[in-house]
Amino acid sequence: MNKVLDGDYKTVFFRPWVGQRYGRSRFGRLLVLGESHYGEDEPNRNWTIECIENFVSGVWNHRFWTNIGQVITGQKHWYVDRTEFWNSIAFYNYVQEVAATGPRQSPTRDMFRRGEGPFFEVISALKPSHVIALGHRLWCHMPAFTSDCSPVRAGNRESECGRYATVDGRHHALAIRIQHPSSGFSPRAWHPLVCEFLRLKT
């Protein structure tokens, strides 16, 4: 984790994962935005970081994390170098409280609403050039864009696209959404859209 970029946060509870080569890899300053944490464990501020560390080290496997690596790299899961990939990007969960005990339960509207301030704090701290939001439900609860841009299209996939500004207004991040990378998700189908998006200039 990059200690320089991941500083102290005033409103963020679940601190983002920031790869050691974030901003210096072929993906640039890419932030992948998840929705929320689920489970019965006592939440701690490093929960997101610990999840990714356990996946990278092979302590456990999960389709969700595997599909993220595949859709961004375009590689089969057995070719994705977990250490290299996850050290190249940042990851953050939008909802800053445990949503429920199981993943098929939705966060409440108030949970999403309370996530807005922390989201802009992370945008301001990490200054991503591109943000990929995971899932339609998350996308529908995110803040309005600071400014719109043309939709992104590739193959038979399409997404709205817009810009989010940092708190001081000096930096803008492009954002799109893709299908949630759980069961039924096809990394191969969504990879061209991700590639097209990452070619865009802010």
Is a pLDDT exceeding 60 seen at residue 3? no
Q: Which of 6-20, 55-69, 83-97, 114-128 is the least confident region?
A: 6-20
Q: Which residues contact 3 (CB under 8 A, 6 or more apart)?
A: none
- Is 42 or 111 the better-scoring residue by pLDDT? 111
Secondary-structure percent of the chain, ordered helix, strand, coil, rounded to 5: 30, 20, 50
Question: Please, what is the average pLDDT of the chain?
Answer: 93
Q: Where are the domains of the chain?
A: 17-198
pLDDT at 202: 82
Q: 17-198: what fold?
A: Uracil-DNA Glycosylase, subunit E (3.40.470)
Instruction: Enter the pTM of the model.
Output: 0.94
Residue range 106-143, pLDDT digits in tens: 899 999 999 999 999 999 999 999 999 999 999 999 99
- pLDDT confidence tier of residue 104, bands split at 50, 70 and 90: low
Helix (H) or strand (E) holding 108: none
- In contact, 102 and 37? CB cutoff 8 Å: no
